[in-house]
Structure 1
Amino acid sequence: MVGKSYINIIICLLIIIFNVGGVYASEDKLAEKSYEVFFKNKNKSDFLALQSLQKSAQFGYEKAEFDLGVAYGLGEYGLVQDYQKSREWLEKSAEKNNAKAQLALGIYYLNGDGVQKNTEKSVFWLLKSANQGNASAQYNLGSMYLSGEGGNIDYNQAKKWLMASAKQNYSSAQYNLGLMYLKGLGVKKDDAEAFSWILKAANEGHLVAIYNVGTYYMKGIGVEKNFELAKKWYLKGIERNDNNSAYNLGVMFFYGLGENVNYSEAAKWFQKASELGHLDATYNLGLMYLKGVGVKEDSQKAFKLISKAAQQGNSDAQFLFGMMYYRGEGIVKDKKEAIFWLEKSAEQGNVQAIEILKELKE
């Protein structure tokens, strides 16, 4: 373990190095050198890194003030997480025009992390950072104007800042800009322009954009239908464990989109989507086991899957689960349980459940 005496030796050596010809080294030079020591040791020694970082920050070095603020916010280098101290150091750095510190403060006030949520202060700091070209600040500022967070919606400002961020290849900004064109928010609705921006986001690795590109190719939104490309993008999403991509790929095989119907492949991808938490996939897979489509008929597996989807709020599963209890399919008949699940489904507006309940209660 590195002792305090060792740290003092390091600091003294730094002073000697810059005390050339009897000229005492400036605090700026010491701050920079202390920061260099921090940077070299931040992945090696928490103790040495922290001592050097604190020394540099105390000399007023804005990069060190920012890093110390982050360290307090995350509880790094052996520090106890302390949002108040984090904010104090970030403010010191932000006031010296550090764009990253300004961004961090903007996010703190936006989310209420360790401070009272204050959208006015959030916009103040995000705007300062955005004006320096920080892509993340531009995205967050544009998204606030898009949603009306803390004030009125302003699509012109939203487009301005999202465009600035998108041009720096910030994928979330590219995606949101695509949504503006897709929905006609402050701009003329343009599916092709929407697809163009969402494709850019997908190419930058934005997971929701990857799924949407697959869907746009499957449905022909803003681009000509292309089932092969749809599958390509869905497979990219599946590599990232996106359950929607797995579900839609299952749908393509189930209905034979782009090739012949293949129920066993559909079941394979519904299974994958179900494992990743997709309720419609779980329900559909249950139906396939119930009817022996693409899989060997198995009423017990069907019951288990449909039960899972029903318990997690899938209206169709709740309806079918109720009917299974009513008819005694894969389970002992139970009118009380049947009514319970049919009512759950009816509460979500399932018309069939509403009609069956009328008959059961007559």
Structure 2
Amino acid sequence: MKKQRILLVGIISVGVIALLILFGWLFRKPLYRLSLGDIDARYRSAMLAYQEHRYADARKELAPLARLDTAKCAQFLLGDLLYRGEGGPADLPEALNLFLMAARQEHVDAQANAGFMYTYGLGTRQDFGEAMDWLYRAALRGNPKAQLGMGNLYKNGWGPVRNEQAALNWYRRAAAHGNSDAMNNIGYMYRNGLGVPRNYEEALFWFQKAANLGNSSAQYNIGNLYCWGKGVDKDIVQGARWMLKSALQENAPAQYNLARMYQWGKGVEKNQEEAMKWYRRAAAQGHEKAMLALARLEKNETVEERDSTFMPDEGWPE
């Protein structure tokens, strides 16, 4: 009889423990939410730290909030800090994880960011299928970054079949929302006759729209059009001015071409010191031609100008 009582007590104890575990599992999220106290106050404090660029504080305050299943804004903001390496080390895999958590709750910017990271294999393997899924969802909701991303997928044939007309359509939608990269890419399409007949005047129009918003690639592209006399009267002085605007924003191709202009005195007064300066700045960004030119100048090698009419490299970055 005593053994039976002991056995019964043991069974009851195991059952109680199992119930406690079950209830703990069922109520772990509500209990965790309660442990955070005033969630709205915590979120306001985290947002204030984020807006004031106190990123280390923002990370600290967002981390417990991001664990809540419904905290999509906290998840997105913490993901943004981890992606950019603000307030601490960058962590791309965790940034993507947070973006995905928010994206599944229909956070449109998180959807766009997740699509971008899958497109370029940032924090994960490159996966154009996943990229298109997330970009398309955000693009349909009017997110210009996602619309730009959709255009890039179609233009390059990443995932979908290459379709320049579809790419142009997505770029136009992003440009309508003020996205300067999309404006620049429309100019690129007109410049190269992709999806539309080649039209330098139309290319210049779109490059100008993007350049007015401070887009360095568009500024560089305008500089090239002036130097080549495409869609505008040839004017190397004006070309140099646009190259300088772009170069000051650390556009490496513009820095390289500006250095060449100083080296040969095209559109600017010949100045070897300025040439060296801009070659160095381009080389510091890994521009191979700038590295080679800089090495030759530093060795005082004689370099012959290839022809009397200076022409910049005809590069058209996106």
Normalising by structure 2, we get a TM-score of: 0.68
Which residue of structure 2 lines up, in the alignment, with residue 9 of structure 1? none
Contact 2:118 2:130 in 1 (8 A): yes
Secondary structure, counterpart of 2:174 in structure 1: helix
Equivalent position to 1:203, from 121, 135, 140: 140
Q: Does 1:174 align with 2:111?
A: yes
Equivalent residue for 2:64, pick from 124, 144, 152: 124
- Which of 204, 218, 242 is matched with 1:305 structurally? 242
Judge conservation of contact 2:80–2:95 (CA < 8 Å) in 1: no
Give 3-state SS (helix, strand or coil) of 1:238's partner.
helix
Amino acid at match of 1:291: W
Alpha-carbon shift at residue 244 of structure 1 (Å): 0.7
Of 161, 178, 190, the match for 1:224 = 161
Q: Is the 8 A contact 1:106 1:124 kept in 2?
A: no
> How far apart in 2 are the matches of 1:154 and 1:359?
40
State how far apart, in whole Å, the 2-side matches of 1:187 and 1:338 are: 40
2:209 matches 1:269: no
Asked if 1:321 is matched to 2:258, the reply is: yes
Q: Which residue number in structure 2 is paired with residue 345 of structure 1?
A: 282
Shift of 1:317: 2.1
Going from structure 1 to structure 2, the CA distance change for 1:158 and 1:220 (only over 3 Å counts) comes to: closer
Instruction: Give the C-alpha shift of residue 268 in structure 1.
Output: 1.6
Q: How does 1:1-362 map to 2 (within 5 A)?
A: 99-108=39-48, 117=57, 119-127=59-67, 130-131=68-69, 133-140=70-77, 159=97, 162-179=99-116, 181-182=118-119, 189-357=126-294, 358-359=296-297, 361-362=300-301
Partner Cα distance (2:284, 2:144) in 1: 33
Partner amino acid, structure 1, of 2:203: A
Change (3 A) 1:205 1:263: same
Q: Percent identity?
A: 30
| Secondary structure of residue in 1 paired with 2:57 | coil
1:108–1:122 Cα contact (<8 Å) kept: no
Task: Report what 2:315 is aligned to.
Answer: none
Structure 1 residue runs of 5 or longer lacking an equivalent are 1-93
The RMSD of aligned alpha carbons is 3.7
**Is the alpha carbon distance of 1:225 and 1:97 closer, same or farther for their aligned partners in structure 2, counting shifts above 3 Å?**
farther
Q: TM-score, normalised by structure 1?
A: 0.61
Highest RCO, 1 vs 2 (Cα 8 Å, sep ≥ 6)? 2
**Residues 145 and 158, structure 1, Cα contact 8 Å, conserved in 2:** no
In 2, the alpha carbon distance for the partners of 1:356 and 1:152 equals: 34
Q: Which moved more, 1:190-199 or 1:221-230?
A: 221-230
1: CA distance, partners of 2:257 / 2:145: 31
Residues 311-339 of structure 1 show CA distances to partners (whole Å, capped at 9, x for unaligned) of 33222222222322332323333334333
Aligned-partner Cα distance in 2 for 1:303–1:288: 11
